[in-house]
């Protein structure tokens, strides 16, 4: 007997209608399409470091960073380890069942777990979107795909949505966070080394999803990076050398705690795509308007012999009236209705750390670039917010008495 989940929220079809046929398209909350919900970052503990709670609208995520001393991996003696634990419990939504445990974070830094799941030929789509030359492959692929139309039906592309398979959601979510934060080298692992080949810090960030209202990825990425920036590890010192060396750990009262060396602040921004055309049309060909622009682009950049063939493909296709609708920071309802999603990770220097589009609606590369531009603005806004919260907390934790004592010691009076 297959289990029928009666705990999923029921999306309102009027929402989809107002998004797709409205002019301009309207979201149920009347929020702008490219405007994220208000981000609320709070520091959970006034005494401990590295415990952050992030609220993105109703989405509620908490992250706690901890560090232990262990021995490093044999193939990487000069590096510490960093793991991210992302586990979804039924607490954030009863649609998620407990027990399916996707904890890749304990894997060695060199070993990257391969995607075991096939979510609508991830690879071909992902690459197809990033470069114009690969667009050829993409279109060819799409023609092949015509037969399995239901691969791009509602929710099929909403990988982060509840509609998708839960195990896949969890694996993709943890892989995304891993890619965004860990593999973009946001945390300097070499600074975690204490004694090469013997002792190092093992930093762990545990993400807890408390309430689900869409866009867990963006909230989690903000929570992880803020917690890493906020965390202080105890100071250690190696006394002596060689055989008789000793490792001394100083507590908070003896020596000031040391912040982690965070090299940059990567932040994920997730886009959801809605097609204004029927799904079938969208698979067959790309959007006419943008392809006119796109065609020139392809002409300039590609020396591919298939070029003519491809253009023929486009010319044969009937012109299309409107573009797909792209929204940022979708709520649970919007995520359920969406036909495709894409997560872009950027930092405030406009460096693209990763781009992930696993299945769903096909989107022009030009639109992807537009998305990156939108994402960049959001990232700048959120980075400012993170820095503001952290600065306010440092101010709050200042021990004025201790500072005065220290300043008296160092004061050089000039009489």
Partner 1 sequence: MSAYTAKQNILQQVDGSATFQFSTTKIISSITGPIEVARPRNEKPTEAFLSISVRPSTGTPTTREAFLEVKLKKILSCMINMEQYPLSEIQIVVQILESGEREQFTCMELACAVNSLYLALLNAGISLKASFLSSFCASKDDNIIVRPTKEELDTSTANHLSVFSISDGKADELIYSDSIGKTTETELFSALAAISSDVNKINETVREVILQSVVDDYVWKF
Cβ proximity to partner 1: between 58 and 351 the closer is: 58
Contact call for residues 82 and 263 (beta carbons, < 8 A): no
When asked if residue 48 is in the footprint of partner 1 (CB under 8 A), the reply is: yes
Min CB(314)–partner 1 separation in Å: 44
When asked if residue 390 is in the footprint of partner 1 (CB under 8 A), the reply is: no
Footprint of partner 1 on 9-38 (CB under 8 A): 9
When asked if residue 334 is in the footprint of partner 1 (CB under 8 A), the reply is: no
Calculate helix-pair angle for 135-145, 307-316, nearest 10 degrees.
50
When asked if residue 45 is in the footprint of partner 1 (CB under 8 A), the reply is: yes
Q: Supply the DSSP string of 335-357, one letter for each residue.
A: HHH-SEEEEEEE-TT--EEEEE-
Compute how many other C-beta atoms are within 10 angstroms of the C-beta atom of residue 158: 25
Q: How many residues bind partner 1 (CB under 8 A)?
A: 37
Strands 199-211 and 81-87: parallel
Contact call for residues 261 and 232 (beta carbons, < 8 A): no
Cβ proximity to partner 1: between 206 and 277 the closer is: 206
When asked if residue 92 is in the footprint of partner 1 (CB under 8 A), the reply is: yes
Cβ proximity to partner 1: between 8 and 247 the closer is: 8
Footprint of partner 1 on 166-225 (CB under 8 A): 204, 206, 208, 210-213
Footprint of partner 1 on 55-84 (CB under 8 A): 58, 60, 62, 64, 66
Tell me the β-bridge partners of 202.
68, 81
Cβ proximity to partner 1: between 106 and 153 the closer is: 106
Cα separation of 309 and 286, whole Å?
15
Chain CA centroid to CA 378, Å: 13
When asked if residue 335 is in the footprint of partner 1 (CB under 8 A), the reply is: no
Cα three-residue angle 34-370-180, rounded to 5 degrees:
80
Task: Please report, as ranges, the residues that interact with partner 1 according to CB under 8 A.
Answer: 1, 3-7, 9, 44-45, 47-48, 51, 58, 60, 62, 64, 66, 85, 87, 89-94, 97-98, 101, 103, 204, 206, 208, 210-213, 332
């Amino acid at each position: 007997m297959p289990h029928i989940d009666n705990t999923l929220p029921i999306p309102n079809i009027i929402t989809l209608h107002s998004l797709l046929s409205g002019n301009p398209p309207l979201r149920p909350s009347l929020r702008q399409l490219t405007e994220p919900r208000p981000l609320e970052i709070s520091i959970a503990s006034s005494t401990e470091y590295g415990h952050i709670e992030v609220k993105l609208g109703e989405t509620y995520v908490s992250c706690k960073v901890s560090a232990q001393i262990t021995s490093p991996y044999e193939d990487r003696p000069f590096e510490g380890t960093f793991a991210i634990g992302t586990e979804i419990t039924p607490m954030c939504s009863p649609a998620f069942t407990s027990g399916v445990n996707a904890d890749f974070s304990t894997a060695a830094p060199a070993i990257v777990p391969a995607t075991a799941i096939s979510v609508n030929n991830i690879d071909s789509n992902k690459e197809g979107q990033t470069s114009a030359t690969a667009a050829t492959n993409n279109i060819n692929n799409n023609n092949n795909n015509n037969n399995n139309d239901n691969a791009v039906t509602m929710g099929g592309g909403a990988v982060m949505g509840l509609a998708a398979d839960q195990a896949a959601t969890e694996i993709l979510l943890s892989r995304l966070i891993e890619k965004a934060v860990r593999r973009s080298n946001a945390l300097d692992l070499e600074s975690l080394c204490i004694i090469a080949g013997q002792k190092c810090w093992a930093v762990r960030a545990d993400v807890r999803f408390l309430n689900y209202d869409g866009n867990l990825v963006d909230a989690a990425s903000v929570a992880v990076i803020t917690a890493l920036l906020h965390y202080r590890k105890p100071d250690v010192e190696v006394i002596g050398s060689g055989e008789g060396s000793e490792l001394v750990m100083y507590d908070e009262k003896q020596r000031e705690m040391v912040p982690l060396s965070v090299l940059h602040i990567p932040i994920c921004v997730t886009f959801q795509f809605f097609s204004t055309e029927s799904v079938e049309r969208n698979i067959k060909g790309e959007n006419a308007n943008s392809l006119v622009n796109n065609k020139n682009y392809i002409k300039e950049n590609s020396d591919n012999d298939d070029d003519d063939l491809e253009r023929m493909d486009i010319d044969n296709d009937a012109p299309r009236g409107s573009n797909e609708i792209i929204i940022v920071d979708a709520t649970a309802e919007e995520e359920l209705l969406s036909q495709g999603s894409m997560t872009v990770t950027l930092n405030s220097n406009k460096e693209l750390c990763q781009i992930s589009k696993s299945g769903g609606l096909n989107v022009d590369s030009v639109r992807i670039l537009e998305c990156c531009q939108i994402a960049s603005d959001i990232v700048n806004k959120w980075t400012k917010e993170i820095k503001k919260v952290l600065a306010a907390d440092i101010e709050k934790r200042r021990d004025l008495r201790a500072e005065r004592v220290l300043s008296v010691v160092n004061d050089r009076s000039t009489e």
